[in-house]
Amino acid sequence: MWQYGHTKILLIRKLGQVLIDYPCWIAVLRAVLPYNRDMKTWHKHAERLYGISLSDSQKALFETYLSELLDWNQKFNLTAIREAEAIEIKHFLDSLSVVAAFKDGFVTSSMIDIGTGAGLPGIPLRIVYPGARLTLVESIKKKANFCEHAAQVLGLENVLVSTARAEEIGQDPLHRENMIWFWQER
């Protein structure tokens, strides 16, 4: 298991190969890197920190997600972070930090995010891994509704939003093997 911020990641063994083999030094990098807080720069930080080079269409998806998150956050308490620049750094960039735990060349085919809240880190990771199947689990209906809305607006296929309890999801054979699990500590 690896932990960064409030997100814990359990990397499942796949074909006998461990998918993580080193600790992440993201906190150290974040402490020494100055942040220019415009959307263009957070993309550069994603590339420099995690080796993620976003395409123009992925950047557009993040901009749409940001817009939807800001809009819905005015009506519902999806996240305490409400400024665009802070969401880009504290949510989007932090969500992508998970990639630093993966071995070079790793590509996932399925992910599950337990306690996803507003879809973090699941939706940003799904944008980066467009071919992956994603299950978002959120027990609070208004947050689950936002996740369904966001997936639809972003045109993300193979995204399942569930309000089931984590214990129930864990018993479902569809979600037991060869998945990367994310969950939020509350």
Mean pLDDT by 10 residues, the chain (186 residues): 44 38 39 48 87 94 97 94 92 89 78 91 95 92 97 97 83 65 55
Instruction: For the chain, list the strands marked E by DSSP.
Output: 2-4, 7-11, 110-114, 133-137, 159-162, 180-184
Q: Of the candidates 45, 1, 53, 54, which has an alpha carbon nearest to the alpha carbon of residue 26?
A: 45
Query: Given strand 180-184, what is the order of strands in its sheet?
Result: 2-4, 7-11, 180-184, 110-114, 133-137, 159-162
**Cβ atoms of residues 137 and 116 within 8 Å:** yes
Quote the pLDDT of residue 162. Answer: 93
Size of the chain, expressed as the number of residues it contains? 186
Residues with Cβ within 8 Å of 58's Cβ and at least 6 positions away in sequence, in order, are 127, 128, 130
- The pLDDT, as a whole number, for residue 183 is 57
Superfamily designation of domain 2-9+38-47+54-184? Vaccinia Virus protein VP39 (3.40.50.150)
Query: Taking Cα atoms as reference points, which of 145, 177, 174, 179 lies closest to residue 162?
Result: 145
For residue 32, the model assigns a pLDDT of: 40
Domain ranges of the chain: 2-9+38-47+54-184
